[in-house]
Amino acid sequence: MFGYIIRRSLYGFPILLGVNLLLFLLFFYVNTPDDMAETFLGEKHITQEQIDNWKQEHGYALPRFINTAESFPGVITQTIFWQKSMSLFAFRFGRSDQDNSDIGTEILRRIPYSLCITVPVFIFSMMLNLFVAMIVAFYRGTYVDTWVLILCVVMMSISALFYIIYGQMVFSILFKLVPVSGFDSKFPHYFKFLMLPILMGVISSFGGGVRYYRTIFLEEINKDYIRTARAKGLSEGVVLFKHALKNAMLPILTNVVVMIPFLIMGGLLTENFFGIPGLGSYMIDAISRQDFAVLRSMVFLGAFLYVISLVLVDISYTLVDPRIRIG
């Protein structure tokens, strides 16, 4: 098992290296350090000398891939690629181009804010979606099934932005029950700011979630062991909630574990519109301020978490389904 985990993790290394290389080419060839300097220096009163100084101070004055002025290993280590890109593998994210703040510290500081929204949304929406999906499966073929399905399709067709804006309009402006947006990190003040984004997150994932889980349940319901359970005289509720749910765990788990990186990385739209200072918001800020040091780190972190979550999916399969064994 341990060997399997190591092997699976190592498979992820070339992917991360590829991501890193692509990022480097994108950030240092398409948009050169000179451009970054001009952006950060304000564009109004700048000289080439200032640009060169900025590059020197931010570690961009080095050669990109090979430093011929140095002897080995400085040929490789004294380059932008090594110092800015390869250091990401050691989680040394460096400093923001914009305000010199430590990116690693900032990421750690913001993760809880993202989790404040994404974890409750994830838990509540999973519970609600599973529950409704089972109810719908329970009442399959009735008007409940039909209308819930129609509702799901309609809700899936609506953009997440719509839910956010109309959620703010309905709950804050018309009913005046929660603040439109904002955040207060002090306990217990943050609860009132979390209610609306969590509610909107749950509502926006309702359509897709219910349909997905309903399909899984319906697939299970037609299997032999369900027929056996019914033949034993078990009630439909027990059949569904006890037997079908247990056996439907595999696809549910896949869906759940793959969501982990998204939980940590936060929601771009939600955080932006509700003013939640999480990682999604950090990413948007970095894009709008052209802070490439932050962007590089965030993209790398996203890729890393995704690779990790795929490994976790594989491991979780073995735990949930004893039939799956690792050779």
Partner 1 sequence: MIKLREKYIVRVLVLVLLALIVGCSNDPYRPGEAAEHTFFSSFATPPTKLDPSSAYYVHEGKIIDQIYEPLFTYHYLKRPYEVIPNTAESIPIPVYFDKSGKVLTEKDPAPAKVARVEYTVQLKKGIMYQNHPCFALDADGKPQYVNVTLKEIKKYDYPSEFEFQGTRELKAKDYALQVRRLADPRLSSPVFSIISQYISGLAELNKEYIEMLAAERKRRQDAAGAAYNQEHDEKANPIRLDYFAPKFEGFEVTGDYEIKFVLKRKYPQIIYWMCMHFFAPVPQEAVDFYQQPAMNEKQFSLNRCPVGSGPYFLETFKANEVIVLTRNPNYHDDFYPVEGAAGDVEAGLLIDAGKKIPFIDKQIYHLEKESIPNWNKFLQGYIDSSGIANDVFDQAVQISAGDGALLSPEMQEQGIRLITDTDPTLWYTGFNMLDDVIGGYSTERCKLRQAISMVMDYNEYLDIFLNGRGVLAQGPLPPGIFGYRDGIKGVNPFVDEWNAKRSRHERQSIEKAKALMVEAGYPDGRDKDGRPLTLDYDHSAGMDPSFRTRFDWTRGRLDLIGVKLNDKGTDLSRFRQKRKQGNWQISSGGWLADYPDPENFMFLFYGPNGKVEAGGPNMVNYSSQKYDQLFKQMESMANGDERQNLIDEMMLIVQEDAPAIWQFYPVSYALCHKWYKNVKPHAMSYNVRKYQRVDAALRVKSQEKWNKPVYWPFVLLAGLLLLSLLPVVMKQRLK
Residues 170-209 that bind partner 1 (CB under 8 A): 172-186, 189, 192-193, 195
Residue 58 binding partner 1, by CB under 8 A: yes
Residue among 301, 253, 315 nearest 9 (CA)? 315
* 48 lies in the site for partner 1, by CB under 8 A: yes
Does residue 112 bind partner 1 (CB under 8 A)? no
Question: Quick one: which of 1, 14, 47, 157 contacts partner 1 (CB under 8 A)?
Answer: 47
Query: What part of residues 244-263 is at the interface with partner 1 (CB under 8 A)?
Result: none
> Closer CB to partner 1, residue 222 or residue 288?
288
Q: Classify 181 in phi/psi space as left (phi over 0), alpha (psi -120 to 50) or beta.
A: beta
Residue (of 21, 113, 5, 95) closest to 299 by Cα position: 21
Q: Identify which range of 1-9, 207-215, 254-262, 270-278 contacts partner 1 by CB under 8 A.
A: 270-278
Q: Does 27 bind partner 1 (CB under 8 A)?
A: no
Q: By CB under 8 A, is residue 57 in contact with partner 1?
A: yes
What's the CA gap between 171 and 139, in Å, rounded?
31
What distance in Å separates the CA atoms of residue 138 and residue 292, rounded to the nearest whole number? 51
Of 122 and 274, which has the nearer Cβ to partner 1?
274
Candidates 95-103, 245-253, 302-310, 318-326 — which segment interacts with partner 1 by CB under 8 A?
A: 95-103
DSSP characters for 231-297?
Answer: HTT--HHHIIIIIIHHHTHHHHHHHHHHTHHHHHH--HHHHHHHT--SHHHHHHHHHHHT-HHHHHH
159 lines the binding site for partner 1 (CB under 8 A): no
Report whether 75 contacts 68 (CB < 8 A): yes
Q: Which residue has the tokens 């309903």?
A: 214
* C-beta of 174 vs 319, nearer to partner 1: 174
Return the H-helix or E-strand segment holding 54: helix 48-57
Q: Residue 93 or residue 306: which is nearer to partner 1 going by CB?
A: 93
In this structure, are residues 112 and 253 in contact, taking their beta carbons and an 8 Å threshold?
A: no
Task: Give dist(CA 10, CA 111) in Å, integer.
Answer: 26
Say if residues 51 and 34 touch (Cβ distance below 8 Å): yes
Our CB check for partner 1 shows the closer of 247 and 290 to be: 290
Q: Could you say whether residue 288 binds partner 1 (CB under 8 A)?
A: yes
User: Should residue 129 be labelled a site residue for partner 1 when binding is judged by CB under 8 A?
Assistant: no
| Residues near partner 1 (CB under 8 A), total | 78
Nearer to partner 1, 53 or 255 (CB): 53
Q: Interface with partner 1 by CB under 8 A: which range of 17-25, 93-101, 122-130, 213-221? A: 93-101
Of 189 and 227, nearer to partner 1 (C-beta) is: 189
